[in-house]
Chains A and B, each alone.
Chain A
Amino acid sequence: MHTPITEGLTSVILLQSFTVFPEYFISISAIYVLIVIVIITYNVYGLLIHKALSECLALILLMACYLIFNDYDVLVSNTLSFHHSIINDYLTYVSKFLICLFTAFYFVLISSSLKEQKLTSFEYLLIILLSTLGLLLMCSSGDLLTAYLSIELSSLALYILAAFRKTSTYSIESGLKYFITGAVSSGFFLLGSSFIYLNSGSIYFDDFITLFERNKWSFYPPNLLEEDMDPHFHLMILIYKYFNLEYTIWKPWPEGSPLVDYSFIEIGLAFIYFSLLIKIACAPFHLWSLDVYEGSPTSSSFFFAAITKLSIFVLLIRLAHTCFVTSSSSWHLYFIIIGVLSIFVGSFGGLKQRKLKTLLAYSSITNMGYALVALGTLTNTAIQMLFFHLIIYMISGLCTWSIILLLRLKTKNYGNKYSKELGDIALLRKSNPALAFAFSLTMFSIAGIPPLIGFLPKMFIFLSALMMGYYMVIIASAVLSVIATFYYIRIIKVVYFENLLVGKLYYPINTHITLLISSLIFSLLFLFFNPTLIQLLFFDILQTPSNVSFYCLTKI
């Protein structure tokens, strides 16, 4: 009996291991929307469907939220699917849910301002949807190849978003700058991945855990593990005991034996961290972000600042806290240094800045600095506080950017000026007192004044760094955050107490958008008194020891 050698590999993706239903839904609906709109607008030139389309895409993302919420059992099963390249755990679940929810809010918030910005073509919204798809895949990626492809999917869409206003030179310039820095950082990501592959022979995160983190989780003795475990796991241990097998995974690593040679891993990790830090615009690598945020259309820079940062941090948490903790002594200090440097640059750079979007870019650099200090501390609490900080950052980013986007000046030369300066919001108190109050609340929250939620994550990050004994870091960043408070307060001063006789007039805002904004602003105040709601989101993002070993054993 001769069987042909060229028979296919036995790889079947079962329905029970198909854990990417939300992404699948979003990609199919994006393609469907593309086809339908092309059919609708085939012969009709200049049909304006941007408002309906943005609400439709918000609906798609809310449905994806529901899908994620509904698939809790599958998505939080602590397993790996698609041949180890998709991770299903709580961190993925929460971050995917938050990204979908906030992007849906984002679509609602920008829907009425697209016409004023002259971004009415449907490709703009569709590209944002596909970029969100890339962000979702980045959260759940379980190997370096999937991570690279999803970073490329999201960031190629972002370059297009930055350059979308073809008639403006600033927009084209910012798109080109973003593209060049992004290409350099992608190249470094690939170089780092190849170095890691050279040393370990694998690109999968779970292989990194088994190779390099062996001594981290093999320290837990079996009797400690048997107490609270899943029944599935009990069965496995019973089988091990029945067959008298030596379950090698819990065996403590012998003391003093030579560990792995980390030299190549460290260089590769340095390159990967470098490229990811370029993507989130931290202080030595931040120079592109100022020009890009200022030059690109306001709704695009809204997306860059508010939505895209979370998933890159999820990838950083996976690499730094899950896969390569053992080699952390060589690089975790650099995270803290870069964090303090970005707080420094963000605080002092914004002092003399009068353009609003550049000011918010500096504010974003400062916030990324706090997040990096938490990431460099690398304790479990610090990682949880990092996640807390990012959620609050996204909420307050949505508030600030949407208010800036929705302030439409009543001028005669309509739409000639796209970027806003501090003078444009002078005496907002007189023309729109509610919006002025909301804006000042948001600014107080970002500055970290106590009765608002922005105070809590900052304080917890400082406390978690204090537990590890980084006193100088805390003193420096606290002093620098006081300096950063200056320009937040100055915005409030401009809004309320500017010594002018004539203010500017603005168009009113739609009702459903005001409902959304006021609920977001209310959450800034409410969450301070009831932070348990957010704690419910992030308390379980790190795996308990039993989960880690479970994670290494079962592969769908």
Chain B
Amino acid sequence: MRAPDSDLPLVFVGVRIAGGDVTILDRITLTITAGPPTILIGPNGSGKTTLLRAAMGLVSLSSGRITWGGGEAGAPTKSAITFQRPTMLRRTAAANIRYALAAAHVPRAKRQERTAELLTLVGLDELGDRPARRLSGGEQQRLALARALARDPTALFLDEPTASLDPYATKAIEDLVRVVSARGVKVVMSTHDIGQAKRLAGDVFLLHRGRLIESAPATEFFATPRTEEARKFIAGELLV
């Protein structure tokens, strides 16, 4: 069976993920299609990370269904993910990228070239030979992005990539998100920073206590929120 060229549309139907007695995601139904970045917002503990991991096929579902690429695939093949605190392999930055390329079955002959390209794209071309673990937080996050892009993904999931970074590093990541999105990669990114959501979003999904409260294109969401939770969140109030 031929693998689909894209993992999109990504469809969640009634997805429920529970750990013991605790419900982490509660009957999530959504569709993600190609286009500008989708921003997942919500307070800490709302289930954003779990949703992204589920979208990447890393979590088993308690009930419901997720389909990739229009229902043909059983798991995502053209997606990639980065985590809030990325784990660097104990080798140079360039070697980290080469590793990701190898794992993605990129032929050996092409890897050198692609590594250089990706390093340049994320602005780490001077730091290719530095041990990855000795990069700064922002540099590591950019390297994680490069690793993810090594898979040539159609969908890129970013879990709070700038939560631990200073404004300078944050801007670098946001710029990269725009560049990557402009190339046609669907970015799905979580954040709890309203400003960032406003800056980057094509559309917005609001999560609260594991439930999808509201979803809308960005302009609509921020101008005319429909739910009480959305209103409160946008106003900067604590959602409990």
B and A form one assembly: no
Could you list which residues of chain A lie within 8 angstroms of chain B, going by C-beta atoms?
Answer: none
B: residues with CB less than 8 A from A are none
